[in-house]
Amino acid sequence: MPLPRKVNFSQPSVWPAVHHARTNPPAENPQEIKSWIHLQHVPSVFDTAVANKIDKVVDDHLGTTEAWLAISGERHLGKTNATTAVLVRRSLTGHTPWRTKQTSGWRYVPYVFVEATSNPTAKMVMREACRFLGLPTSGDEGVLRARLCDNLPQMGVIAIVVDEGQNFRRKSATAKAVADGLRGLLHLPVPMIYSGLDLRESALLKQFNDIDDSAGQLIERAQVLDLSKLGDAQGFAEIGRLVRAFGQRLTLIDEYTAPALTDNDLVQTLIIDHEGRPGSILETLKKAAVEAVNTDRCLTTDLVAARLADTRAAKEPGAAA
DSSP structure string for 216-239:
HHHHHTEEEEEE----SHHHHHHH
Instruction: Give strand ranges (E) for 104-221.
Output: 111-115, 159-163, 192-197
Average pLDDT of the chain to the nearest whole number? 91
Band of pLDDT at residue 240, cut at 50, 70 and 90: very high
What is the pTM (predicted TM-score) of this model?
0.93
Instruction: Tell me: pLDDT of 212 over 80.
Output: no
Q: What distance in Å separates the CA atoms of residue 318 and residue 100, rounded to the nearest whole number?
A: 52
Q: What is the mean pLDDT of residues 217-243?
A: 92
Q: Where does residue 44 rank: exposed (0-12), middle (13-18), buried (19+ CB within 10 A)?
A: buried
Work out whether the CA dihedral 30, 32, 35, 37 comes out positive or negative.
negative
Q: What are 172's strand-pairing partners?
A: none
**Residue 277 contacts residue 74 (beta carbons within 8 Å):** yes
212 contact partners, CB below 8 Å, separation of at least 6? none
Residue 142 CA to its chain's centroid (Å): 28
Q: What is the average pLDDT across 214-238?
A: 90
Instruction: Specify the 3-state DSSP secondary structure of 304.
Output: helix
- The secondary structure of residue 261, as a DSSP letter, is G
Q: Is 238:85 a contact under the CB 8 Å cutoff?
A: no
User: Beta strands 111-115 and 159-163: pairing type?
Assistant: parallel
Write down the pLDDT at residue 321: 43
pLDDT for the residue numbered 250: 97
Q: Are strands 68-73 and 192-197 parallel, antiparallel or unpaired?
A: parallel
Q: What is the pLDDT of residue 45?
A: 95
In order, the DSSP letters of 13-59 are: GGHHHHHHHHHSPPPSSHHHHHHHHHH-----HHHHHHHHHHHHHHH
Say what the pLDDT of residue 104 is: 65
pLDDT tens digits, 109-160: 999 999 998 889 999 999 999 999 999 999 999 999 999 999 999 999 999 9
Sheet of 68-73, strands arranged across: 111-115, 159-163, 192-197, 68-73, 222-227
